[in-house]
Amino acid sequence: MSVFKYDKDADGIVTITMDMTGPVNAMNQEYRDAMGETVERLEQEAGLAGVVFASAKKVFFAGGDLNDLLSVQKGDEDRFMALLEDTKEQLRRLEKLPVPVAAAINGPAMGGGFEICLACNHRVAWDDKSVQVGLPEVTLGLLPGGGGVVRMVNLLGLEKAMPYLLEGTRVSAAAAREQGLVHELVATREELVPAAKAWILAQKDNPEAAVQPWDRKGHKIPGGNASHPAVAQLITIAPAMLRKKTRGLLPAPEQILDCAVEAARLDFDTALRIESRGLTYLVTTPVAKNMISTFFFGMNRLNGGASRPGAVEPTAVKKVGVLGAGMMGQGIAYVSAMAGIEVVLKDISLEAAQKGKAYSESLLAKRVAKGRMSEDKKAGVLGLIKPTADNADLEGCDLIVEAVFENIELKHQITLDTEGYLAENGVWGSNTSSLPITQLAEASKKPENFIGIHFFSPVDKMPLVEIICGDKTSDETLARAFDYARQIRKTPIVVNDSLGFFTSRTFGTYLDEGVRLLKEGVHPAQIDALGKAVGMPVGPLAVYDEVSLELTRKAQETWKAMGVLDAHSDSSVTREVVDTMVAEHGRGGRHHGGGFYEYAADGGKTIWPGLFDLYYRADASLPESDMKDRMLFRQVIESLKCLQEGVLRTVDDGNIGSIMGIGAPAWTGGFIQFVNTYGAQRFVDRCRELAATYGERFEPPAIAVEKAAAGELFS
């Protein structure tokens, strides 16, 4: 029996209900068999008045089967191209049926799912927050290969199709209706199929309803084809704009743009074949393998609770105390209140706490101004935040998050003063970015309830939370911290205790290597340019200014006093340069009047001229490939050391943490996944080359050598 249920009613309308054997409907061989049989039967159906495609799943259709796509290797191109062409030919036959075809969209229709919808003449969607449509393939290093590129260009025009294709924009049912992606909305799921059938019956005397816009005589692409002056101008400038954004590191956007331009230039069926070639090329690239492995499979595992102790029952935070209303504390208060949690925002004065609450008010006002929130909802969220200077207001909190300066004495004192206000078995979380949790927990009467909850700035935008377990942290405490992170809609990674944990420790190597290149005489502009050329969001010197050289110096002093400054953070070169910049020249970073850069009132910046006197040497000559690899490999090596030492509990934690918390280049799929497609043996060999020239910090970790010898992947 087919997984596509075939039901013909008295009016001659056939409803195809997709109900594949997996948890979701997906484009795989089972789909191709079912769709092939269905289209052939529809073509032979006597008295056929129309067709409705519906889904028995909560998700209308999830798109391509990513396990299948991951398995495609170099040499499989002919086989994959044939399967792709077969899939497209089925949809082409579907849209050429002599009767109208409608899609009844009851849930998310992404990628291949929305391509099925685009092959239908009419699209009806349930107007519910669970329903989204879009073509997100670009976010996985792929392109919409089931006709999505060609149909979107013919439906919307080249310019309007670009955000959906190049950015993977997903939209709600209501937005899709406004933008012409669906034709009709219904208020309830039960109305979908009846509405689709009603539309079909209303087209009885309208044969054009069964013909797709691009198959009608005289069809013109909205906005014009490639020869139209405005479109021709767009085609001229688009590649340069795209290159500036991707830095040439992501092949998918370039392939998508090429296919979209061809769709605006060629006949429909030829453009479909060009699109197939584009996906066939992309699916075998290391970039696609990396992005699929991490952004889909890894992310789903983490968000699904792979790092959470399974034996502990789920919990929800009802009242959270946030200690410190500065940049981090005010952000934590905002995301907590947005999740419906009662927040006590405490600082040393009521005025400081109120200032922290004002931050939430400003963010909420922007949402109201953009029509994304009502005034009533804004008032409700603000009403959840109580600014205070009184410890007693913390009474009954089931979670307290401390977000004060990185000073262990201060943190210890705050723990002693306020831990007693926690509810029974309440959790104490420290938002430290580097100080060992085990030592911070020494001030706690219940170290088993003490955990690190490291947020990233700005908290309202950064999606990651790094949860750090101390030596005595219990599984129950870890589970409750994990649940809180998911409650506030963050992706949590779980790591074990270490100076700098995973993210700060690894990110520090990027900054260190940038400073080392500076000390070696490389032009500072070249250092930052090559950091970005690797795919990092910002060059190491520029980001060091934002992090603050002054804070780095103070942090190192704190680590020394604690006796925890070790090989991971103790770079003599960096310490020397930072001391020179701060102590001798007063260059503490952007927020201290300037650091490696000088900052103008209009927001512009230029390299501080003193760097040229201190460090730059015109005769310094290093291969650019070495400089780029040094900045990338230092971070990869440190990530592998974290995995080897047990700081990282899983490969997924390392990959997602490096992407979301450090800014690892998307093309790598994360610093550990990078080794899988680069090749473990090749990675070991390159590390040894760099070590021979630049120092032992590039020696490959034992875990990489072992994987290379065994021919295994990191998983």
In a domain, 684, yes or no: no
Q: Report if residue 664 sits inside a domain.
A: no
What are 462-495's pLDDT values in tens digits? Answer: 999 999 999 999 999 999 999 999 999 999 999 9
Whichever domain contains 123, its CATH number is 3.90.226.10
pLDDT at 570 over 60: no
Determine, yes or no, domain membership for 57.
yes
Residues 33 and 101 in one domain: yes
Tokens of 137: 């393939």
Instruction: Output the average pLDDT for the chain.
Output: 95
Q: Which tens digit of pLDDT belongs to each residue from 509-528?
A: 999 999 999 999 999 999 99
pLDDT per position as a tens digit, 188-229: 999 999 999 999 999 999 999 999 999 999 999 999 999 999
What predicted TM-score, i.e. pTM, was given to this entire model? 0.93
- Residues 524 and 584 placed together within one structural domain of the fold: yes
Residues 359 and 485 in one domain: yes
Of 284, 307, 337, the residue that ends a domain is: 284
Which tens digits make up the pLDDT trace of 442-465? Answer: 999 999 999 999 999 999 999 999
Is residue 672, in this structure, part of any structural domain at all? Answer: no
Residues 511, 526, single domain; the answer is yes
Task: Tell me the per-residue pLDDT of 123-162, one tens digit each, with 9 for 90 and over.
Answer: 999 999 999 999 999 999 999 999 999 999 999 999 999 9
User: Is 546 part of a structural domain of the chain?
Assistant: yes
Asked whether the beta carbons of 433 and 336 are under 8 A apart, the reply is: no
- For residue 558, pLDDT over 70 is answered with no
Same domain, residue pair 509 and 489: no
Q: What is the mean pLDDT of residues 72-85?
A: 96
How many helices and strands, by DSSP H and E, does the chain display?
Answer: 30, 19
- The verdict on 353 and 417 lying in the same domain is yes
Residues 6 or more apart whose Cβ sits within 8 Å of residue 537 = 543, 663
Residues 507, 495 share a domain: no
Residue where a domain terminates, one of 480, 499, 518: 499
**628 inside domain:** no
Specify whether 492 is located in the same domain as 512: no
705 inside domain: no
pLDDT exceeds 90 at position 551: no
**Does position 566 have pLDDT exceeding 90, yes or no?**
no
- pLDDT digits over 585-621, tens only? 999 999 999 999 999 988 899 999 999 999 999 999 8
Indicate whether 560 pLDDT > 80. no
Residue 309 lies in a domain: no
Same-domain pairing of 373 and 401: yes
The reply to whether 26 and 64 lie within a common domain is yes
Same domain for 338 and 364: yes
559: pLDDT strictly greater than 70: no
Looking up residue 340, the CATH number of its domain turns out to be 3.40.50.720
Return the CATH number at 566: 1.10.1040.50
* The pLDDT value given to residue 564: 53
- Identity at 47, one-letter amino acid code: G
Number of domains in the chain: 3
Confidence of residue 550 (pLDDT cuts 50, 70, 90): confident
78 and 124 in a single domain? The answer is: yes
Of 38-52, 540-554, 701-715, the poorest mean pLDDT is in: 540-554
595, 623, 651 - which closes a domain: 623
pLDDT-derived band of residue 567, with 50, 70 and 90 as boundaries?
A: very low
**What confidence tier does 568 reach under pLDDT thresholds 50, 70, 90?**
very low
Q: Tell me, what's the pLDDT at 152?
A: 98
Name 431's Cβ contacts closer than 8 Å, sequence gap at least 6. Answer: 328, 329, 332, 401, 402, 403, 452, 453, 454, 455
- Contact between 457 and 451 under an 8 Å Cβ cutoff? The reply is no
What's the confidence (pLDDT) of residue 275?
Answer: 98
**What is the domain extent for residue 509?**
503-623
What is the C-alpha to C-alpha distance for residues 389 and 391, in angstroms, rounded to an integer? 7
Q: Is the pLDDT of residue 327 over 70?
A: yes
* Kind plus residue range of the DSSP H or E element containing 427: strand 422-430
> Over 70: is that where the pLDDT of 101 sits?
yes
* pLDDT grade for 685, boundaries at 50, 70 and 90: very high
